[in-house]
Structure formats: structure tokens, C-alpha cells
Amino acid sequence: MEPGAIVGNDYLVQYRNISSKLKKRFLRKPNVAEASEEFGQLARELSEGEAWAQAGLCCVAVAKCEQTLVNPTTEVSAITQAARYFLKAEVVNHHLHCPSFNEHLMTAISCYQHAVQLYTEHKKPALAASLAVELGQALRSLGRPSEALTHLRLAADLQVDSPLHHLTCLGYIASCKIELGDLHGALTEFTKMTNVIEQHGGQPLTGAYKDILARCEISLLLILLTLQPLPQHTKPPHAQLLEKYSWTMPDTQQTDVWHDDAELIVLLQSLVLACQGRDTHALTTLSQHLTPLLSAEHLHLLHILVTEMNRT
């Protein structure tokens, strides 16, 4: 089908014709099931024509029909699809830099929230959390990390009984904090993550728990070096982390470093030494060596650290 083939008057005519089947008539019940099926078909045709917002409206109509028919599974499926169609419409506008009042995004958020509520009511927290994460990550991709935080926090709360999923959500929240320039907030989130790992990771740490802790340690180290909290304001776990990567630390006490890359450990130790000595030249050189070894987020934190050191 050609893009936009049934958009406009044709779409409105079909939508109204289907809607008319839902009107109550004397001695005749509305055929809700048939209307739901036809709305669904129209939504599929519109999506094939890339008329995302119109397809979303049809999916909302399907959800209302399924609610009338007391089909909760189909209802939440339809409202979720509606959310994704409206979000797609917003993303297209965003990429094309079209002026708008973000109406598609607002509708998408409303649909996502409705779907999350339905899953929560039906005791399906994992599915509810997955949609909250989907929305949060979409908002981040649209340059709205502050709005994403609300939905990611909800996802983290819903996944509190599933440690690995909970950690994933906390990681997303920490990333949002970094994007917002809130290093104190990011420090708090990474600290929460290390506490969760300590409670649920077991000993010795393996697999995902070990990888997540390695990420947390590097992030915490870079943030602490940037913030430079006074000793009396440094929490014991943070002080211990700084000591762990200090050259004065005996090698026999380095057994709890969670990185397999010996070069990375040495470079991080050198980074701590350079920051303590406020050696900006060494810091710049170390940054060049660290670049191929760090993730994009860690490189961003390293850039903030170098910038702050050069500024002060």
C-alpha cells in the first residue's frame, strides 16, 4: 500500500462507519466484537501506510471495544500497540524537526500509563515494568531524561523482587542522572546498585553481578574524583573504593577488584594518583590510554572529570 493511501477522508469515513456499529438501536445490540475486528484491520492498513497517529487512534478504539467485551488481555495488547504507534508518530516528527505541541507524545505516555496500570491490576509486575522501561528509554532517546526518570523509578519499584531486573532499572536511572548533570544523584544510584549486589549477588560474584559491579565501581570512582568530597563527608564505602585504587594499597588487598583487565586497573590507579596530585598533564595522557578501554558512559564521566580538573 502506498504511504497515506487511506489517510484523510477515506480514513475518516471508514472510522465513522465502524463507529456507527457501536450505536445502540431499538431492539438491536451493537456488534462490539465485529467493530473491534474492523478497527484492528483499519489500524493495520494505516500502519502499513505509515499513518502512525491514525493507526494509534484505531488501536485505542479496539481497546475500548475489548474493555466492553471484558477481554483484559486483548485490551492491554491494543492499548500498548496504540502507545507504540503514537510514539512512532512523535519520533518521526522529532527526526523531521516538525513544529508541534507534542500531542502524539502526550497521548503515547497516556496509553503507556494505562497499559502499565492494567498489568499492575492483573498482578503482572514484570510486564508493567517492561513497558515503563520502554517508555522511559524512549523519552531518553527524545532528549527528555528528566521525564524518563518517573517511569524508570516506577519500573525499578515494580522489579524490586527481581534483583537483576531491579539493577538494570537502577542503572538506567543513574544514566539519566548523568545526562542531567546530577553527579550527586548518580552517585546515590550507583551506591544503591552496589548494595543490591552485596545483598543478592552471593560470593564469589560471577556473571552479570560481577559485570554490573565493575561498571558501578568505575562510575563511582570517576564521580568521586570529580566531586572530591571532603573526608568528613565521604561515606565509608566510597572512602574504601578510593583506597582500593590507591597506589599505597598493598597488592594482597586487591583481590576484590572486579575488572579482568589488568591494564585498566593500573590506569585507574594512575588516574587516582594524578587527581590527588592535580597533575592535569598526566590526566590528559591517561585519558588517551583509557579511551579504548571504557564504555561511552564512562568516557563521558572521564571527560567531565578532566574538564573539572582543568577548570580548577
122's grid cell:
492483573
Nearest to 154 by CA among 138, 134, 180: 134
Residue 172: is its pLDDT beyond 50?
A: yes
Domain membership flag for residue 147 = no
CA dist., res. 167 & res. 180, Å (int): 20
Residue 8: is its pLDDT beyond 60?
A: no
Average confidence (pLDDT) over 151-160: 98
The residue with greater pLDDT, 7 or 164, is: 164
Encoded amino acid at 296, one letter: A
Paired with 25 in beta bridges are 28
CA dist., res. 137 & res. 145, Å (int): 8
Lowest model confidence (mean pLDDT) among 23-32, 95-104, 172-181, 203-212: 23-32
Percent of the chain at pLDDT exceeding 90: 79
Domain membership flag for residue 248 = yes
Q: Would you state the pLDDT for residue 3?
A: 41
Domain membership flag for residue 293 = yes
Domain membership flag for residue 245 = yes
Q: Residue 25: what are its φ and ψ, rounded to 5°?
A: -125, 160
Lowest model confidence (mean pLDDT) among 177-181, 185-189, 205-209: 205-209
CA dist., res. 181 & res. 256, Å (int): 30
Percent of the chain at pLDDT exceeding 70: 92
| pLDDT tens-place string over residues 189-207 | 999 999 999 999 888 888 8
Q: Would you state the pLDDT for residue 4?
A: 45
Domain membership flag for residue 106 = no
Q: Would you state the pLDDT for residue 246?
A: 84
Domain membership flag for residue 83 = no
> Is residue 107 very low, low, confident or very high in pLDDT (cuts 50, 70, 90)?
very high
In contact, 91 and 142? CB cutoff 8 Å: yes
| Domain extent at residue 275 | 214-312
| pLDDT tens-place string over residues 39-53 | 999 999 999 999 999
Domain membership flag for residue 291 = yes
Average confidence (pLDDT) over 264-274: 94
Average confidence (pLDDT) over 53-81: 97
Q: Would you state the pLDDT for residue 99?
A: 86
In contact, 161 and 194? CB cutoff 8 Å: no
Domain membership flag for residue 13 = no
What's the domain count of the chain?
A: 1
Average predicted confidence (pLDDT) for the chain? 91
Q: Would you state the pLDDT for residue 259?
A: 65
Average confidence (pLDDT) over 262-290: 93
